[in-house]
Protein backbone atom coordinates (compact mmCIF):
# COMPACT_ATOMS: atom_id res chain seq x y z
CA UNK A 1 0.00 0.00 0.00
CA UNK A 2 1.02 3.61 -0.36
CA UNK A 3 -0.27 7.15 -0.16
CA UNK A 4 -2.44 9.00 -2.66
CA UNK A 5 -3.78 12.45 -3.51
CA UNK A 6 -6.78 12.88 -5.80
CA UNK A 7 -8.79 15.76 -7.19
CA UNK A 8 -10.80 17.10 -10.11
CA UNK A 9 -9.59 19.34 -12.95
CA UNK A 10 -11.72 21.51 -15.23
CA UNK A 11 -9.09 21.78 -18.00
CA UNK A 12 -5.84 20.17 -19.15
CA UNK A 13 -3.22 20.80 -16.47
CA UNK A 14 0.25 19.79 -15.39
CA UNK A 15 -0.07 18.54 -11.80
CA UNK A 16 3.07 18.73 -9.67
CA UNK A 17 3.31 17.35 -6.14
CA UNK A 18 6.20 18.54 -3.97
CA UNK A 19 7.28 16.81 -0.75
CA UNK A 20 7.47 19.51 1.96
CA UNK A 21 10.08 17.53 3.94
CA UNK A 22 12.87 17.92 1.37
CA UNK A 23 11.28 20.00 -1.44
CA UNK A 24 11.65 17.16 -3.95
CA UNK A 25 9.12 16.70 -6.73
CA UNK A 26 7.31 13.41 -6.12
CA UNK A 27 5.03 13.57 -9.13
CA UNK A 28 4.84 15.65 -12.31
CA UNK A 29 2.08 14.53 -14.69
CA UNK A 30 -0.09 15.96 -17.45
CA UNK A 31 -3.77 15.41 -16.62
CA UNK A 32 -6.97 15.91 -18.60
CA UNK A 33 -10.19 17.54 -17.33
CA UNK A 34 -11.60 14.88 -15.05
CA UNK A 35 -10.81 13.23 -11.76
CA UNK A 36 -7.16 12.34 -11.22
CA UNK A 37 -5.35 10.25 -8.65
CA UNK A 38 -1.63 10.07 -7.88
CA UNK A 39 -0.79 6.88 -5.99
CA UNK A 40 3.02 6.87 -5.91
CA UNK A 41 3.52 9.13 -2.89
CA UNK A 42 5.27 8.81 0.44
CA UNK A 43 3.77 9.92 3.74
CA UNK A 44 4.05 13.54 4.90
CA UNK A 45 2.67 16.90 3.83
CA UNK A 46 2.75 17.92 0.17
CA UNK A 47 2.31 21.03 -1.96
CA UNK A 48 0.02 20.40 -4.93
CA UNK A 49 0.18 22.70 -7.99
CA UNK A 50 -1.91 22.52 -11.15
CA UNK A 51 -0.80 24.68 -14.11
CA UNK A 52 -2.94 25.10 -17.23
CA UNK A 53 -1.49 25.63 -20.71
CA UNK A 54 -2.48 29.32 -20.39
CA UNK A 55 -0.23 29.64 -17.33
CA UNK A 56 -2.93 29.80 -14.64
CA UNK A 57 -1.77 28.09 -11.45
CA UNK A 58 -3.87 26.66 -8.64
CA UNK A 59 -2.01 25.54 -5.54
CA UNK A 60 -2.64 23.91 -2.20
CA UNK A 61 -0.11 23.60 0.63
CA UNK A 62 0.23 21.22 3.55
CA UNK A 63 -1.91 18.55 1.89
CA UNK A 64 -1.66 15.19 3.64
CA UNK A 65 -1.96 12.21 1.30
CA UNK A 66 -4.39 9.43 2.21
CA UNK A 67 -3.09 5.95 3.04
CA UNK A 68 -4.67 3.28 0.84
Q: What share of the chain is helix, strand, coil (3-state, %, to 5)?
A: 0, 65, 35
The count of structural domains within the chain is 1
CATH assignment of the domain containing 30: 2.60.40.3110
Residue 46 has pLDDT above 80, yes or no: yes
Residue 1 has pLDDT above 90, yes or no: no
pTM for the full model?
Answer: 0.89
Over residues 4-23, the mean pLDDT reads 96
Predicted local distance difference test score (pLDDT) of residue 54: 94
Residue 18 has pLDDT above 80, yes or no: yes
Domain residue limits at 28: 3-67
Predicted local distance difference test score (pLDDT) of residue 4: 97
Amino acid sequence: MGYKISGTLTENSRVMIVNEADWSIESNTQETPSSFEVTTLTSGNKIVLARTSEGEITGFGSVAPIYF
